[in-house]
Copies of this chain bind each other. A is one copy, B any other.
Amino acid sequence: MSNPTRARVTMNDVADMAGVSKASVSRFIGEDRQLLSEAIARRIEHAIDTLGYRPNQMARGLKRGRTRLIGMLVADIRNPYSIAVMHGVETACRKHGYSLVVCNTDRDDEQERLHLAALRSYNIEGLIVNTLGHHLDELRELHTELPMVLVDRKVDQLQSDLVGLNNIAAVEQAMDHLYQSGYRDILMVTEPQDGTSSRIERVDAFKAGVAHRSGMRGQVRETGDNLRDHLRDFLADSGHGHKALFTGNGVATLSSTRQLHELGCHLFDDIGLIALDELDWYPLVGSGITSLAQPTHDIGVTAFECLLERLRGDQEPVKTYDFPAQLIVRGSTRPRS
């Protein structure tokens, strides 16, 4: 009964049953329905209903060159940021009748290559990229065939639209808030930069922000095996004013908070914290984690709409969409004096 060998009902079947030509059926399911006479349209509709006919998008795409498929390349699908953006993309896709093929590379360059080949073979109409783009040649070649949009991270030498956070402004917001709350000794924790443009921008902005604020001291550390030692050292080294951590993304926040916790740190009396990216559990940790929330949903929606513009023939020069972050104040940056 559930044997997947039953032949699919095709346009021919519908045409036969309705006693019309395939062309008429094609017109019925396409944009040209108004060209059909009332009588024929009804017969076709009836045949479609009784047969349960559904057009085959593959065949359709083969002929028209439009598959209604969008690809998304994600570096780390378990990162809540990626998920949130993807949710936005998916919503927008749905709204415009597109489906989304998600490819997770798990930060593996070889997987990226394989996925790119696969996506290409499926004739996707556009591609949303949230990876390091280490296969420049393939990407550029693909870009000659279809529009692409970068999310969060730039890819060098790939001239493509970009949508993401205004990192400079966001970091400035964070610095302002820390400064005004009385923190003077800041340790920024970032994931290894590794060529990721957004991380680099944030670290650079952090250094610049420290430089032009009098009495502020700033250092940068990376997540990894040594993080705990770095944090311990930072906590021990007093005499530079109230201390705070500035974590560059959700992953950095998680590992930093875990390490602080394991170090027996009282969250957040001993040390302040402001995080880039908002996660749903921030209110629950200690007195709550202050964060700069990214408009992830809008970022995803914009990425898709950007693609859609290009698909509709937009030939304008490469655009960049910089979204602002929203400060959410919680206990982890309570004012000090």
Contacts and interface: CB of A to CB of B under 8 A. Distances in A.
A3 B279 CA distance: 39
A123 interface: yes
A212 interface: no
Interface string A220-249: 000000000000000000000000000000
Contact of A99 (B78, B86, B101, B279): B101
A62 interface: yes
B1 A144 contact: yes
A134 B160 CA distance: 41
Interface stretch (A32-40, A186-194, A253-261): A253-261
Interface in A254-300: 254, 257-258, 261, 279-281, 283-285
Contact of A117 (B54, B69, B101): B54
Interface string A80-101: 0001101100110010000111
Given A52-B141, A254-B284, 19 more contacts: A2-B143, A6-B145, A54-B121, A56-B121, A56-B123, A58-B58, A58-B61, A58-B122, A58-B123, A59-B62, A77-B90, A78-B87, A83-B83, A90-B102, A99-B118, A100-B101, A257-B284, A261-B283, A281-B285
